[in-house]
């Protein structure tokens, strides 16, 4: 072989080896990327949280959940009297997701933890956030409740699991328009025990309470591809979510509402309401404070543990009344007295 041909062959082998090494290195880097995802399409949104960059493609959301993206909030019962009244103590608003059929749950809440009053220098007021049911009897009962108590907001949203995210979005608009004076907002469900007499001291004693979202914070929760909380890879190809407060119960300070509402105008509506709030909070640049006393998961059913908790999820109607009576009427736990005023 001629010397020139040998040099050429050697050069080609070196180049080939370098290419193989480069491809192998790139492949390793792709494998090691925590959230290896396809390149975002035109118009995709990128939300970095310091660990991952989350990508949302509005076109994918319009294709899979068009009704969530196109709905415009329309109030059938506006709840415009919930936050009215003369100036007074700071307002803690209990915003409770409910179903038209859940009149017994709302009645129990109104007799116990959701009754209006003044606790520890805070005015406490509840509002029930409801969509529509195809059952006329349920809607008639809801209308009577609204007339009696004035604590219902009804949107023309069909009640469904995915439409809970629309309640989240519409509630942010409602607060901005009709309850901007609420200093803190507790968001929860009607199938739980809420403990305002414990929430109020927490707010008074936490130095940065008005600057963060409070709750049981889920850190980079895994995306489920099956079951009730299923999210398809086409909609969201990444494996984990941004941090979010578990939807069973969390606290929003007043200062967070405008930023969350503004984010809801540009972030596509995610079909899981607690994850949706996590995306909104990330887009708004808001911070969290975790506290395990937001008992949104299982807890031993002992009376005094309820007294320490801010919220306990999944409590039966009878048990919620027993707990309230035991803590604040019969005072069967040390340190539990009459409701503070």
Q: How many helices (H) and strands (E) does the chain have?
A: 11, 14
* Lowest-confidence pick of 35-49, 225-239, 320-334: 35-49
28 vs 107, more confident: 107
Query: Residue 10 — very low, low, confident or very high, per pLDDT cuts 50/70/90?
Result: very low
pLDDT, one tens digit per residue, over 22-70 is: 333 333 232 223 444 445 566 799 999 999 999 999 999 999 999 999 9
Domains detected in the chain? 53-295 (3.90.550)
Per-residue confidence at 13, pLDDT binned at 50, 70, 90?
very low
DSSP state of 51: S
Nearest residue to 187 (alpha-carbon basis) of 251, 245, 246, 271:
251
Q: Is 232 helix (H, G, I), strand (E, B) or coil?
A: coil
DSSP 3-state assignment of 334? coil
Q: Give the mean pLDDT of the chain.
A: 88
Dist. CA 272–CA 164, nearest whole Å: 7
d(CA 215, CA 253): 12
* Torsional class of 227: left (φ above 0), alpha (ψ -120 to 50), beta (otherwise): left
Which of these ranges, 59-63, 97-101, 236-240, 245-249, has the smallest mean pLDDT? 245-249
- The contacts of residue 286 (CB under 8 Å, 6+ apart) are 212, 213, 256, 259, 260
Which residues make Cβ contacts (< 8 Å) with residue 162, sequence separation at least 6? 65, 68, 271, 272
pLDDT digits (tens, 9 = 90+) for 177-211: 999 999 999 999 999 999 999 999 999 999 999 99
Is residue 279 exposed (0-12), middle (13-18) or buried (19+ Cβ within 10 Å)?
Answer: buried
- Where residue 334 falls among pLDDT bands split at 50, 70, 90? confident
Q: What is the Cα gyration radius of the chain? A: 25
Give pLDDT, residue 86.
78
CB 171 within 8 A of CB 165: no
Taking every pair of Cα atoms in the chain, the longest distance, rounded to a whole number of angstroms, is: 104
* pLDDT above 90 coverage of the chain, percent: 81
């Amino acid at each position: 072989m001629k010397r020139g041909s040998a040099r050429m062959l050697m050069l080609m082998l070196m180049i080939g080896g370098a290419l193989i090494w480069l491809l192998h290195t790139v492949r390793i880097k792709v494998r090691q990327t925590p959230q290896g995802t396809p390149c975002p399409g035109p118009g995709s949104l990128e939300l970095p949280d310091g660990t991952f960059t989350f990508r949302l493609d509005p076109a994918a959301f319009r294709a899979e959940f068009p009704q969530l993206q196109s709905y415009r909030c329309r109030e059938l019962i506006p709840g415009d009297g919930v936050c009215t009244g003369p100036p007074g103590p700071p307002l803690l608003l209990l915003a409770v997701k409910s179903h038209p059929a859940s009149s017994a749950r709302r009645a129990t809440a109104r007799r116990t933890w959701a009754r209006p009053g003044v606790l520890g220098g805070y005015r406490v007021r509840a509002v029930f956030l409801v969509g529509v049911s195809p059952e006329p009897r349920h809607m008639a009962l809801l209308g009577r409740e609204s007339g009696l108590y004035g604590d219902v907001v009804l949107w023309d949203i069909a009640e469904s699991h995915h439409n809970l995210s629309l309640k989240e979005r519409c509630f942010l608009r409602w607060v901005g328009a009709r309850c901007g004076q609420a200093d803190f907002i507790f968001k929860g469900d009607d199938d739980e025990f809420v403990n305002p007499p414990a929430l109020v001291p927490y707010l008074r004693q936490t130095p940065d309470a008005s600057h963060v979202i409070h709750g049981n914070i889920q850190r980079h929760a895994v995306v489920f591809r099956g079951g009730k909380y299923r999210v398809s890879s086409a909609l969201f190809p990444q494996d984990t979510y941004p941090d979010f407060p578990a939807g069973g119960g969390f606290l929003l300070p007043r200062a967070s509402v405008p930023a969350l509402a503004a984010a809801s105008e540009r972030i596509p509506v995610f079909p899981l309401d607690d994850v949706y709030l996590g995306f909104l909070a990330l887009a708004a640049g808001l911070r969290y404070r975790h506290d395990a006393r937001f008992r949104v998961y299982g807890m031993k059913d002992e009376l005094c543990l309820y007294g320490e908790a801010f919220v306990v999820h999944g409590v039966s109607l009878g048990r919620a009344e027993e707990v309230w009576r035991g803590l604040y009427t019969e005072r069967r736990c040390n340190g539990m007295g009459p409701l503070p005023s």
